[in-house]
């Protein structure tokens, strides 16, 4: 795709990049948590423990995983289905990646398809080999907080219910994405077009980058300019150079005593002698 | 005997260098500095960190009627700094192979004289001998900066010289006072100073007299304004000597001649010293972020780093002190390497302005790799040398006061900001007319940078030998402070 990363300029790539499409499809199903791919098992395990801990958190987590399913299928459909939306130039250059890239993709796809079988929960007739394998690692933690690292106490029927809800949510999200991006062929608005407020907020990542920029980066830069441009030279160096200037000024005064004019020296000596005499004989005078 | 050799040999080597003529003198100076390094390694092999080392101590009557002796000793702290000095000097000399300086015999002789002064400072155990070396180390660098420096060298060097001499006079005053407090016919030896029993009031002003001298040398905020100008205007070998080794004189001075001599003064004013040091860390880092000249960025970064070392020393904890000692070695290695990188870039494209660079990495991959290693050491990434020192230092400051450590800890973020900004600005981005003609490192440059990169990893991955070397000495010192 000549370094293009914008899905708005893609579409219909299934024909041109079949291996990439197939591996991407497998990865999407896995990450969306649809059985029997790997994502389902790991997600199920996490959701189950969360439910045991707090059902509200579980609801939030299911909503989150539903969104994952939606944006992944949205990405899949926008990229690979429909017709190509890029330039003729780009279309001309479309080609499948070399083997050095497709082989790793295939390996990873196999793992994300079959990787889940190392941890089949007991509710589905497995022995959760992975959980038993990892168990010794948590020994110490379990001794400190037994309630957080124990086995699950949920009945199998509750587990089935939880699985059903999460899989159902993922499938619903899939369907919504399908309707929006395959049936209705909608494409995200091009750059610069005015977006509804909520979309705009989300598109700009809740303005968190801008928030950081304004709260931390800019003040830091301003402070740096101030410290270097003002404080360093007009406060500290002024004092440092002031010491030097004070010495010079003082030496300017003292220098007048060393003019080499003998008359002035004798005059100063006489005054000094008079002062000394007065000091010595102050008892007489007062 | 070996200690005297370590002090005397660079002087002899410098005198021989003065007699030679032409460009070959740099090779000769390099070989002589290698001899010094080998002698140091011999001293290391003779050294027993846990016990006393009579073989490394020397003491001869000097001005007997005044109780002043020519005496020195090497303990773990001294040894580490002697290793730093004698390791860096050959690297610094090697770094000059790519360009020629006018009147080379004087140039290299001054570097070798400087080495003698530095080794003297790190080993002397007599106050007047220490003072003598302290000033003797200043003179060569004054000439190096004043003769071979940049356009503003005269004004800048003058300020630097007056500023540091001003501080040294306070130290001379304090040491003379201490000398007259010693019993009997007086003695200026370190043990005699340690044995003094002074009132808290006296120790308080002695603390300030000594602290100002050492604080200017390091430098600690707000005594630092000589430093960025001097670093930027000096020829890079002199900058390396200043930043790599000379600033450690200040920290060493605090460790050896301040803390154990006036412990009550430290108890009273140590917190102030830590606060100034911590201010310097943040202040220097924030200014470094806004600098445009590569050498100035490094100068302010060095000022920020030394603040942390100073804070660690004044925390009076084993960790803080150990951290400072290891960090002195690590910082010396990193800063000399980074100034060398700055010099290489400046030499190739005739500018040090960050705005005029970019895309250097395209033509100079080896340079990029060495730069990155030294940079990561400087920002204290784990497994690099900077991490060991910085972690111990922050831990030490934390045991003293967690809030100071929290502020000092900002250095972790801020140093990453200014160093990565430096790296991005020089190495990445588009090439321009200047940087398009950039060539990669020569073999000599690689040979000079290799030992530094090696030290970054060695100290970072296996600091135990260095920590073991210095721990008994640090414990001794702290015991000395606590006893009083």
Cα-based distances in Å from A177 to A24, A83, A165: 16, 17, 18
Res A145 pLDDT > 80: no
Handedness of CA A59, A65, A69, A72 (dihedral sign): positive
Quickly count: other Cβ atoms within 10 Å of residue B398's Cβ.
Answer: 19
Residue B438, classed as helix, strand or coil, is: coil
A240 touches chain B (CB under 8 A): yes
Contact A21, A106 (CB under 8 A): no
pLDDT band per the 50, 70, 90 thresholds, residue A118: confident
State what percent of residues in chain A have pLDDT above 90: 17
Mean pLDDT of A28-40: 87
The reported pLDDT for the residue numbered A2 is 63
SS3 string, chain A, reads CCCCCCHHHCCCCCCCCHHHHHHHHHHHHHHHCCCCCHHHHHHHHHHHHHHHHCHHHHHHHHHHHHHHHHHHHHHHHHHHCCCCCCCHHHHHHCCCCCHHHHHHHHHHHHHHHHHHHHHCCHHHCCCCHHHHHHHHHHHHHHHHCHHHHCCCCCCHHHHHHHHHHHHHHHHHHHHHHHHHHHHCCCCCCCCCCCCCHHHHHHHCHHHHHHHHHHHHHHHHHHHHHHHHHHHHHHHHHHHHHHHHHHHHHHHHHHHHHHCCCHHHHHHHHHHHHHHHHHHHCHHHHC
pLDDT band per the 50, 70, 90 thresholds, residue A151: low
Q: Across chain A, what does the average pLDDT equal?
A: 84
- Helices then strands, counting H and E runs in chain B, come out as 21, 2
Mean pLDDT of B5-34: 91
Q: What is the CA radius of gyration of chain B?
A: 21
Contact B69, B14 (CB under 8 A): no
Chain B residues at the A interface, defined by Cβ less than 8 Å, are 159, 162-163, 166, 222, 224-226, 283, 286-287, 289-291
Q: What one-character DSSP code corresponds to residue B184?
A: T
Among partner residues B224, B225, B286, which is closest to A224 by beta-carbon distance? B286
CA distance B231 to chain A (A): 16
Give the residue from A216, A233, A240, A243 with the most B CB atoms within 10 Å of its CB, the best one to mutate: A240
Res B128 pLDDT > 90: yes
Instruction: Answer yes or no: do B225 and A224 touch at CB < 8 A.
Output: no
Residue B62, classed as helix, strand or coil, is: strand
Q: What one-character DSSP code corresponds to residue B473?
A: H
Partner residues linked to B353 by β-bridges: B293
Nearest CA in chain B to A216: B414
Q: By mean pLDDT, which of A63-72, A222-231, A236-245 is the weakest?
A: A236-245
Mean pLDDT of A231-235: 83
Instruction: Answer yes or no: do B283 and A223 touch at CB < 8 A.
Output: no
Handedness of CA B393, B398, B401, B405 (dihedral sign): positive
More confident residue, B433 or A108: A108
Q: By mean pLDDT, which of A194-208, B116-130, B310-324 is the weakest?
A: A194-208
The reported pLDDT for the residue numbered A134 is 75
Mean pLDDT of B339-346: 93
Helix (H) or strand (E) holding B347: helix B318-349
* Residues written for chain B: 484
More confident residue, A85 or B322: B322
Which burial class, exposed, middle or buried, applies to B34 when counting CB atoms under 10 A from its CB (0-12, 13-18, 19+)?
middle
A242 touches chain B (CB under 8 A): no
Q: By mean pLDDT, which of A146-150, B161-165, B362-366 is the weakest?
A: A146-150
CA distance A247 to chain B (A): 12
Contact B114, B141 (CB under 8 A): yes
The reported pLDDT for the residue numbered A233 is 82
Number of A:B CB contacts under 8 A?
A: 30
pLDDT band per the 50, 70, 90 thresholds, residue B466: very high
Instruction: Answer yes or no: do B287 and A224 touch at CB < 8 A.
Output: yes
Instruction: Answer yes or no: do A237 and B222 touch at CB < 8 A.
Output: no
A224 touches chain B (CB under 8 A): yes
Among partner residues A227, A237, A239, which is closest to B287 by beta-carbon distance? A227
The reported pLDDT for the residue numbered A188 is 80
Q: Across chain B, what does the average pLDDT equal?
A: 92
pLDDT band per the 50, 70, 90 thresholds, residue B335: very high
pLDDT band per the 50, 70, 90 thresholds, residue B197: confident
Instruction: List, for residues A180-190, the tens digit of each pLDDT value.
Output: 888 888 888 77
The reported pLDDT for the residue numbered B14 is 93
Distance CA(B109)–CA(B115), nearest Å, equals 10
Mean pLDDT of B302-310: 95
Q: What one-character DSSP code corresponds to residue B70?
A: E
Mean pLDDT of A253-277: 85
The reported pLDDT for the residue numbered A193 is 75
The reported pLDDT for the residue numbered A148 is 67
Instruction: Answer yes or no: do A224 and B162 touch at CB < 8 A.
Output: no
More confident residue, B389 or B50: B389
The reported pLDDT for the residue numbered A159 is 81
pLDDT band per the 50, 70, 90 thresholds, residue B203: very high
The reported pLDDT for the residue numbered B78 is 93
Partner residues linked to B71 by β-bridges: B59
Res B146 pLDDT > 70: yes
Res A112 pLDDT > 80: yes
Distance CA(B330)–CA(B81), nearest Å, equals 11
State what percent of residues in chain A have pLDDT above 70: 94
ipTM: 0.77
CA distance B318 to chain A (A): 32
A251 touches chain B (CB under 8 A): no
Res B75 pLDDT > 80: yes
Contacts of B11 (CB under 8 A, 6+ apart): B112, B113, B116
Res B19 pLDDT > 70: yes
Domain ranges in chain B? 2-483
Res B23 pLDDT > 90: no
pLDDT band per the 50, 70, 90 thresholds, residue B464: very high
The reported pLDDT for the residue numbered B285 is 94
pLDDT band per the 50, 70, 90 thresholds, residue A125: low
Instruction: List, for residues B85-119, the tens digit of each pLDDT value.
Output: 999 999 999 999 988 888 899 999 999 999 999 99
Nearest CA in chain A to B288: A224
Partner residues linked to A31 by β-bridges: none
pLDDT band per the 50, 70, 90 thresholds, residue B344: very high
């Amino acid at each position: 795709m000549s370094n293009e990363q914008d899905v708005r300029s893609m579409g219909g790539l299934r024909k041109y990049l079949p291996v990439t499409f197939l591996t991407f499809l497998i990865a999407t199903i896995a990450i969306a948590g649809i059985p029997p791919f790997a994502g389902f098992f790991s997600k199920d395990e996490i959701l189950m423990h969360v439910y045991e801990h707090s059902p509200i958190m579980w609801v939030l987590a299911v909503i989150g995983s539903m969104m994952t399913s939606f944006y992944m299928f949205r990405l899949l459909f926008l990229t690979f289905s429909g017709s190509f939306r890029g330039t003729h130039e780009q279309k001309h250059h479309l080609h499948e990646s070399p083997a050095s890239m497709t082989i790793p993709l295939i390996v990873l796809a196999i793992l994300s398809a079959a990787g889940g079988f190392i941890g089949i929960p007991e509710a589905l007739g497995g022995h959760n080999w992975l959980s038993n394998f990892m168990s010794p690692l948590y020994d110490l933690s379990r001794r400190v907080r037994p309630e957080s690292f124990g086995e699950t106490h949920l009945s199998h029927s509750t587990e089935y219910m939880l699985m059903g809800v999460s899989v159902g949510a993922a499938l619903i999200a899939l369907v919504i994405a399908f309707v929006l991006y395959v049936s209705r062929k909608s494409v995200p608005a091009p750059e610069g077009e005015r977006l509804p407020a909520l979309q705009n907020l989300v598109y700009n990542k809740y303005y968190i980058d801008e928030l950081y920029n304004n709260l931390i980066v800019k003040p830091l830069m301003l402070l740096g300019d101030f410290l270097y441009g003002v404080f360093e030279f007009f406060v500290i160096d002024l004092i440092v150079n002031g010491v030097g200037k004070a010495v010079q000024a003082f030496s300017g005064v003292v220098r007048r005593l060393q003019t080499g004019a003998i008359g002035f020296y004798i005059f100063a000596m006489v005054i000094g002698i008079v002062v000394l005499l007065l000091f010595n004989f102050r008892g007489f005078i007062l | 005997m070996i200690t005297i050799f370590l002090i005397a040999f660079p002087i002899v080597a410098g005198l021989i260098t003065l007699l030679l003529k032409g460009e070959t003198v740099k090779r000769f100076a390099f070989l002589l500095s290698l001899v010094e390094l080998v002698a140091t390694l011999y001293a290391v092999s003779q050294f027993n960190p846990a016990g006393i080392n009579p073989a490394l101590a020397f003491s001869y009557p000097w001005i007997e009627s005044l109780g002043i002796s020519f005496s020195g000793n090497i303990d773990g702290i001294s040894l580490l700094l002697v290793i730093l000095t004698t390791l860096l000097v050959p690297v610094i000399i090697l770094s000059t192979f790519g360009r020629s300086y006018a009147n080379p015999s004087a140039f290299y002789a001054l570097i070798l004289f400087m080495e003698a002064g530095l080794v003297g400072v790190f080993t002397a155990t007599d106050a007047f001998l220490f003072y003598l070396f302290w000033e003797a180390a200043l003179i060569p660098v004054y000439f190096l900066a004043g003769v071979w420096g940049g356009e503003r060298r005269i004004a800048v060097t003058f300020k630097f010289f007056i500023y540091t001499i001003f501080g040294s006079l306070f130290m001379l005053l304090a040491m003379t006072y201490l000398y007259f407090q010693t019993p009997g016919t007086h003695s200026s030896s370190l043990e005699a100073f340690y044995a003094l029993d002074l009132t808290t009031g006296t120790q308080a002003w002695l603390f300030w007299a000594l602290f100002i001298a050492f604080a200017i040398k390091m430098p600690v905020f707000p005594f630092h304004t000589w430093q960025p100008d001097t670093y930027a205007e000096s020829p890079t070998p002199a900058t390396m000597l200043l930043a790599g080794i000379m600033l450690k004189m200040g920290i060493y001075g605090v460790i050896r001649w301040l803390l154990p001599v006036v412990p009550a003064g430290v108890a009273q004013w140590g917190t102030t010293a830590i606060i100034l040091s911590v201010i310097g860390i943040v202040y220097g880092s924030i200014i470094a972020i806004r600098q445009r000249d590569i050498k100035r960025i490094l100068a302010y970064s060095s000022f920020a780093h030394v603040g942390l070392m100073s804070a660690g020393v004044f925390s009076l904890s084993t960790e803080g002190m150990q951290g400072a000692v290891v960090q002195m070695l690590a910082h010396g290695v990193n800063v000399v390497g980074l100034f060398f990188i700055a010099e290489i870039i400046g030499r190739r494209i005739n500018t040090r302005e960050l705005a005029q660079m970019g895309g250097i990495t395209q033509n100079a991959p080896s340079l990029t790799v060495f730069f990155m290693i030294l940079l990561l050491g400087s920002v204290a990434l784990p497994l690099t040398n900077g991490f060991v020192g910085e972690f111990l230092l922050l831990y030490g400051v934390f045991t003293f006061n967690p809030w100071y450590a929290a502020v000092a800890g900002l250095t972790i973020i801020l140093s990453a900001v200014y160093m990565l900004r430096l790296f991005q600005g020089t190495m990445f981005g588009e090439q321009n007319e200047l940087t398009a003609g950039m060539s990669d490192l020569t073999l000599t440059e690689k040979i000079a940078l290799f030992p530094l990169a090696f030290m970054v990893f060695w100290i970072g991955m296996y600091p135990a030998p260095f920590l073991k070397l210095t721990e008994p000495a640090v414990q001794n010192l702290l015991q000395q402070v606590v006893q009083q």
